[in-house]
Amino acid sequence: MLTGHQTWVFNNKPVIISTGTVGGPFEANGNIPNDFDLLHDDMWLKQDSFEKAQQTLMEEACQTAVKKSSIEKEQVQFFISGDLINQITPTSFAAKTIGIPYFGLFNACATSMESLALSAMIINAKGANYILSGTSSHNAAAEKQFRYPTEYGGQKPPTAQWTVTGAGCALVSQDGQGPKITSATIGKIIDMGITDPFNMGGAMAPAAVHTIETHFKERNIDPSYYDLIITGDLGHIGREISLDLLKKRGLSIQENQYVDCGLTIYREGQPVLAGASGPACSAVVTYGHFLNRMKKGDLHRILVVATGALHSPLSIQQNDPIPCIAHAVSIESGSDV
């Protein structure tokens, strides 16, 4: 059901029956290693390119999600996913291996919640029984495409963020046991004229604020409805900017209620500058850490707001401003909906 202009309410409450989360060596040394299903000690994953390693991450996340469920892969109707690399080739090559009908998406680091929202919409409308929804990223592959190969050792400003090496996948179903997807607010492009590709948090913060504000208005609820409001990868700088903007708009969100995946995945002392980023950032932290907390009963209602900067190497070379977007999905425990 459409509520307002941008929000879907899922009356049939699609269920996340299982998840798969995979990470690399930097993530294994991070803050939440126990929330991954699989961790690698090699950035190459025994492949001959970082892009092929990213493909492997996506394949493993999908295979893990299916293995942890009670269904067979042949019962899954669609795979909805995407990534940062040109023409989303790691995901498309993974889709070839997985062998499930495939929707390829690009919404940069907002892809995790874009894919989950679309999966929930299709499931809610009874257009499928099971859908795999996910995304991935690889630090070295993203650095090579958007900045400089890591071998160059290029310096970065303190506003820069560290792309997560990993993949996260959710298996969404018509029914079953697990957290319920209750609504989604689809974001609009927000462009504040920022042209610095090393300040993604600052560029994306207004998009996150716009989507959060729209979600509460169109659902006619206030921030107290959720235990946590979780942004994707704003990092230290974007989180502070968005908190200020939310307060100016009259939304009273407590600091401990407003968390960021980019500040959750790594521990103090890891050299991630302003925090983590990448499509896998919100995917692995949400499908691993936060859903595990929900299953333990620590959380009952969360709003996950994945943020994306929709620039390309070409647009940056042409000094174009960075268009940004954020998509929000509300997830609630089965006992609370």
Domain identity same for 186 and 167: no
Residue 157: its pLDDT value, please? 78
Same domain flag for 164 and 272: no
184 and 161 part of one domain: no
Q: Please answer whether residues 202 and 169 qualify as being in contact, where contact means their C-beta atoms are separated by less than 8 angstroms.
A: no
Paired sense of beta strands 2-3 and 130-137, if any = unpaired
- The torsion angle over the Cα atoms of residues 181, 307, 20 and 119, rounded to 10 degrees, is 40
pLDDT (0 to 100) of residue 158: 80
Write out the E strands in the chain.
2-3, 7-9, 15-23, 38-39, 78-82, 102-105, 130-137, 162-163, 166-173, 180-185, 228-231, 258-260, 276-277, 301-309, 324-332
With H, G, I as helix, E, B as strand and everything else as coil, classify residue 100.
Answer: coil
- The number of folded domains in the chain is 2
Q: Nearest Cα to 277, choosing from 321, 318, 311?
A: 311
Q: Are residues 240 and 192 in the same domain?
A: yes
Nearest to 307, CA basis, from 292, 288, 286, 335: 286
The boundaries of the domain holding residue 90 are: 2-173
Q: How far is CA 150 from CA 12, 35, 146, 147, in A?
A: 46, 27, 11, 9
Q: The tokens of 278 are what?
A: 């990448």
Regarding whether 294 and 188 lie in a shared domain, the answer is: yes
CATH number, residue 260: 3.40.47.40
Indicate whether 215 and 243 sit together in one domain.
yes
Residue 76 pLDDT: 98
Radius of gyration of the chain (CA): 18
If asked whether residues 103 and 189 sit together in one domain, one would say: no
Rounded distance, CA 300 to CA 313, Å? Answer: 40
- Of 115, 147, 173, the domain-final residue: 173
Amino acid 210 reads: H
- Considering the domain architecture, whether residues 132 and 269 belong to the same structural domain is answered as no
Listed residues 128, 147, 173: the one ending a domain: 173
CB 277 within 8 A of CB 233: yes
Residues 21 and 169 in one domain: yes
Instruction: Please list, in sequence order, all residues whose beta carbon lies within 8 angstroms of the beta carbon of residue 87, skipping any fewer than 6 positions away.
Output: none
CA–CA separation, 232 and 280 (whole Å): 9
Per-residue pLDDT of the chain (337 residues), as tens digits, is: 888 999 999 999 999 999 999 999 999 999 999 999 999 999 999 999 999 999 999 999 999 999 999 999 999 999 999 999 999 999 999 999 999 999 999 999 999 999 999 999 999 999 999 999 999 999 999 988 887 677 667 778 788 899 999 999 999 999 999 999 999 999 999 999 989 888 989 999 999 999 999 999 999 999 999 999 999 999 999 999 999 999 999 998 988 999 999 999 999 999 999 999 999 999 999 999 999 999 999 999 999 999 999 999 899 889 999 999 999 999 999 755 5
Give residue 1's pLDDT: 82
Q: From 186, 132, 195, select the one nearest 159 (Cα to Cα).
A: 195
Looking at the fold, whether 167 and 275 belong to one and the same domain comes out as no
247 and 202 co-located in one domain: yes
Q: Which of 129, 149, 173 is the last residue of a domain?
A: 173
- Report pLDDT for 290: 98
Q: What is the pLDDT of residue 152?
A: 65
Domain identity same for 201 and 100 = no
